[in-house]
């Protein structure tokens, strides 16, 4: 099947949604594959088990450099984004492209940050954070079987308790955050602490909608 369908991580889902609603020539995308090297997203590929390693990245480096250089010189794009983790970034070590771009930054970091940066680059802005009327203060709210504090102020009070207990272990903000007493708190981490659910068991969109129900604003870093 086409490579864009074969791979199914969060960044590929964002890319597929964008490509489904835009003219075909708006965006040209390539994938660095541990098996095939640099390929067009439309190229049909079979399922494979090879993973990217430092040695494999070294083997692919020359062909990846050459392929990207030729693509940029041919297409003359108005902007370029390189999105990948550390292992894949090794295929671009020492790259110097002959193009109109003096530098082409590589976006790495956590998967959440990569998804956020990709979305904003494609659409030009973060997704909207719609607030809805919060539940009444005396009505208990249940989310995924977890009973949450009643009302916005009770939820924020619980969040402050979490922050007080976790001041030394608060993770950095990569994409979405909630501002509490002028402190930026990672969205998914906060919801995980409030519910006891692991951060991998729900998406940022789920967490945004949940806090939106309480009238709590969520912002993009």
**48 belongs to a structural domain:** yes
Query: 3-state DSSP call for residue 17?
Result: helix
Q: Is residue 129 part of a domain?
A: no
Block residue for tokens 């950095």: 172
pTM of the model: 0.64
Q: What are the pLDDT tens digits along the chain (221 aa)?
A: 999 999 988 899 999 999 999 888 889 999 999 999 999 999 999 999 999 999 999 999 999 988 988 888 888 888 888 899 889 989 988 765 544 455 567 788 778 788 888 888 898 887 776 555 555 555 556 788 888 877 888 888 989 998 988 877 888 888 899 999 989 999 999 999 998 899 888 888 889 888 888 888 898 87
- The reply to whether 108 and 145 lie within a common domain is no
* In a domain? residue 132: no
Distances (CA, A) of 72 to 17, 66, 98: 24, 10, 8
Question: Do 64 and 115 belong together in one domain?
Answer: yes
Q: Are residues 146 and 118 in the same domain?
A: no
Residues 88 and 197 in one domain: no
Q: What CA–CA distance (Å, rounded) separates 30 from 39? A: 6
Range of the domain at 173: 141-220
Residue with tokens 């009973």: 147
Domain count, the chain: 2
CA 137 to CA 141: how far, in whole Å? 10
Q: Are strands 176-180 and 219-220 parallel, antiparallel or unpaired?
A: antiparallel
Q: What are phi and psi of 79, to 5 degrees?
A: -155, 155
Burial (CB count within 10 angstroms: exposed 0-12, middle 13-18, buried 19+), residue 159: buried
**In the prediction, which pLDDT does 179 show?**
93
Rg of the Cα atoms in the chain: 21
**Residue 134 domain-assigned (yes or no):** no
Record the tokens describing residue 117, joined without a space.
């940066």
Do 108 and 194 sit in the same domain of this protein? no
* Boundary (domain end) residue, out of 96, 123, 150: 123
Evaluate whether 112 touches 103 at the Cβ level (below 8 Å).
Answer: no
DSSP string of 27-58, one letter each residue? ---EEEETTTEEEETTSB---------HHHHH
Instruction: Point out the domain boundary residue: 123, 155, 179.
Output: 123
CB 137 within 8 A of CB 120: no
The answer to whether residues 115 and 195 belong to one domain is no
Instruction: Check whether residue 146 and residue 43 sit in a common domain.
Output: no
Q: Are residues 111 and 191 in the same domain?
A: no
Inter-residue contact 102 to 68 (CB < 8 Å):
no
**Residue 98 lies inside a defined structural domain of this protein:** yes
Q: Is residue 206 part of a domain?
A: yes
Please check whether residues 118 and 155 belong to one and the same domain. no
Q: What's the confidence (pLDDT) of residue 133?
A: 58
Measured CA to CA, the distance from residue 47 to residue 45 in angstroms comes to 7
| Co-location of 108 and 193 in the same domain | no
> 213 and 160 share a domain?
yes
String of b and e for 163-198 (b: at least 16 CB within 10 Å)? beeeeeebeebbbbbbeeeeeebbbbbbbbbbbebe
Q: What is the full DSSP assignment across 157-191?
A: HHHHHHHHHTTTTPPPPSSEEEEETTEEEEHHHHH
Q: Are strands 146-148 and 141-143 parallel, antiparallel or unpaired?
A: antiparallel
Q: Is residue 74 part of a domain?
A: yes
From CA 20, how far away is CA 59, in angstroms rounded? 34
Please report whether residue 136 resides in a domain: no
112 and 11 housed in the same domain: yes
């Amino acid at each position: 099947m086409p490579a864009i369908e074969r791979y199914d991580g969060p960044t590929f889902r964002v890319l597929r949604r964008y490509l489904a609603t835009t003219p075909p020539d708006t965006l040209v995308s390539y994938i660095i594959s541990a098996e095939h090297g640099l390929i067009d997203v439309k190229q049909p590929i079979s399922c494979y088990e090879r993973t990217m390693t430092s040695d494999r990245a070294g083997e692919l480096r020359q062909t990846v450099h050459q392929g990207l250089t030729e693509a940029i010189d041919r297409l003359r794009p108005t902007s370029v984004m390189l999105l990948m983790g550390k292992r894949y970034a090794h295929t671009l070590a020492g790259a110097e492209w002959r193009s109109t771009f003096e530098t082409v930054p590589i976006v790495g970091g956590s998967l959440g940050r990569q998804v956020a940066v990709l979305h904003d680059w494609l659409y030009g802005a973060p997704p909207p954070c719609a607030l809805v009327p919060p539940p009444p203060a005396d009505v208990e709210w249940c989310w995924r079987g977890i009973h949450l504090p009643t009302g916005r102020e009770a939820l924020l009070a619980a969040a402050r308790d979490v922050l007080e207990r976790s001041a030394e272990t608060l993770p950095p903000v990569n994409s979405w955050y909630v501002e509490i007493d002028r402190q930026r708190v990672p969205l998914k981490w906060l919801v995980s602490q409030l519910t006891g659910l692991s951060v991998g068991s729900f998406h940022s969109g789920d967490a945004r909608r949940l806090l939106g129900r309480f009238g709590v604003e969520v912002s993009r870093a």
